Amino acid sequence: MALEKRNITSQKESFAKWYQDVVREAELAENSDVRGCGIVKPYGFKIWKLIKEELSRKIDSSGVEEVYFPMFIPLSNLNAEAAHVEGFSPELAVVTHGGGKELEEPLAVRPTSESSMYPTFGKWIQSYRDLPLRVNQWNNVVRWEKRPRPFLRWSEFLWQEGHTAFATEKAARKEVREMLEMYKDLYEYMAIPSFIGRKSTLEKFAGAEMTTTVELMVRDGKAIQGATSHYLGTNFAKVFDVQYLGEDGDLHYCHQNSWGLSWRSVGAVIMAHGDDSGLRLPPNIAPIQVVIVPIYKEDTRSKVLEFAENLKEELSDFRVAVDLRDDQTPGFKFNHWEVKGVPLRLEVGAREIDEGKITVFRRDLNAKTSIPLVDLSNQVEGLLKSVYTELFKQAKDFSSRHIHRIESIDDINDQVGFFEASWCESVESEKLLKEKFSMVSRVLPREFEDKEPKNEKCFITGEPAKHDWLFAKSY
């Protein structure tokens, strides 16, 4: 059966165009009238919802409570922490009029909520008994984007931001690691391997002491920052007076963290798993895990449709759909659900029913197989697990094939992927790398943190190296 034409550029021809095409053809999202802001369509939103539900379970079970703070922040609050305002002020959206009048003080739409929440934390926290304070909110934030890109860079985006306060640096740093692990686990849930560790001075969050990151490699070899977990030290606590009375009877500043993950995770899923036929969704976050396509002629129509409906019933433990459209050919439908990345397609025809089997198309392998009509729910469960394992394996294989150990900046050439190199960690050298190769450090992987660098000398400056880092171009 001939496939209909897919309106998708190949990844090799242009990965950027491929991405745009998939976002459009899989009906995930589209641009809006408001420059830089996007519209997330039902199928795209459902992927985000499934990611969100899993992360929400993880956050809840770690004992963090949900809150809501206003999205408007008086500019004076935002301007209170010097590094923070320097990082965010070029990206602000500013409300100057409200209720028909010019406001006395303009309000920023939150780019992140540190300066919205922490003045209140100062009131909530009195003594050591009030610690730790651990809250999270799911919300929209705005950072004005010059080069918007669906999910990855929109001026308005949805995310969660966790904000916590501890009595000691040790307790705060412990949570930074735990939340980073939580995000790593979340990406594993999406069959995406990740590199976790800390960020360089240049790349850390504006206002943080230390930023840790979950870095993902996507199928053009570039990096996506999948989530971050920051140790803010006492920087904000000093500015917003977040203090507690200790058991020792003295006042101390709280040690604070913030950590967040946005719907750019949807973009990461698209780029980490997609192929030239479109999306390939890991079963855990697939809006439809199994699609049933009935194949019939006029005389077998009612028999096949009835069988398909029964099949759907039998598979009700899964997110399952039957494509009943009468005005489309099976070939069109196959293509439609492949573009949308549905993990399993069951093809049901009259002859197969008679022979007691059905054809299964696995999107991870783009291959068909035949299964007997017994114990279908268990078979499908097994197949979905197998799809997950295969997608994860492919992503891990891709990732390890595209990490290049280099000893000098000249070794980069036009290779694609992540570059592992021993580095002096100076801001100047990173700026140079950025200028020359549009590349920055992505992460000091945790397993390299306590190790000597493999090369004594920095791959850029020749100065003494401190650690082995990963470098890459990024989204």
Residues that bind a second copy in the complex, under the rule CB under 8 A: 30, 32-34, 37-42, 45-46, 49, 65-74, 77, 89-100, 106-107, 109, 116, 119-120, 129, 135, 139-140, 144-146, 155-156, 158, 327
Cβ-Cβ contacts under 8 Å for 462 (sequence gap 6 or more): none
Q: Which two tokens stand for residue 293?
A: 């396509």
Closest CB to a second copy among 65 and 169?
A: 65
Considering the complex, what minimum distance in angstroms separates the CB of residue 91 from a second copy? 6
Closest CB to a second copy among 94 and 202?
A: 94
Whole-angstrom Cα distance, residue 164 to residue 159? 17
Closest CB to a second copy among 92 and 444?
A: 92
Closest CB to a second copy among 100 and 356?
A: 100
Considering the complex, what minimum distance in angstroms separates the CB of residue 206 from a second copy? 16
Contact 65, 89 (CB under 8 A): no
Considering the complex, what minimum distance in angstroms separates the CB of residue 185 from a second copy? 23
Rounded to an integer, what is the distance from CA 117 to the centroid of its chain?
Answer: 24
Considering the complex, what minimum distance in angstroms separates the CB of residue 315 from a second copy? 19
Closest CB to a second copy among 12 and 129?
A: 129
Closest CB to a second copy among 325 and 451?
A: 325
Considering the complex, what minimum distance in angstroms separates the CB of residue 340 from a second copy? 14
Whole-angstrom Cα distance, residue 169 to residue 166? 7
Whole-angstrom Cα distance, residue 427 to residue 442? 14
Rounded to an integer, what is the distance from CA 231 to the centroid of its chain?
Answer: 20
Closest CB to a second copy among 99 and 356?
A: 99
Considering the complex, what minimum distance in angstroms separates the CB of residue 138 from a second copy? 9
List b or e across 260-276, with b for residues whose CB sees 16 or more CB atoms inside 10 angstroms.
bbbbbbbbbbbbbbbbe
Considering the complex, what minimum distance in angstroms separates the CB of residue 113 from a second copy? 11
Cβ-Cβ contacts under 8 Å for 306 (sequence gap 6 or more): none
Distances (CA, A) of 103 to 92, 108, 189, 203, 321: 17, 12, 46, 35, 52
Whole-angstrom Cα distance, residue 305 to residue 309? 6
In terms of Cβ atoms closer than 10 Å to its own Cβ (0-12, 13-18, 19+), residue 372 is exposed
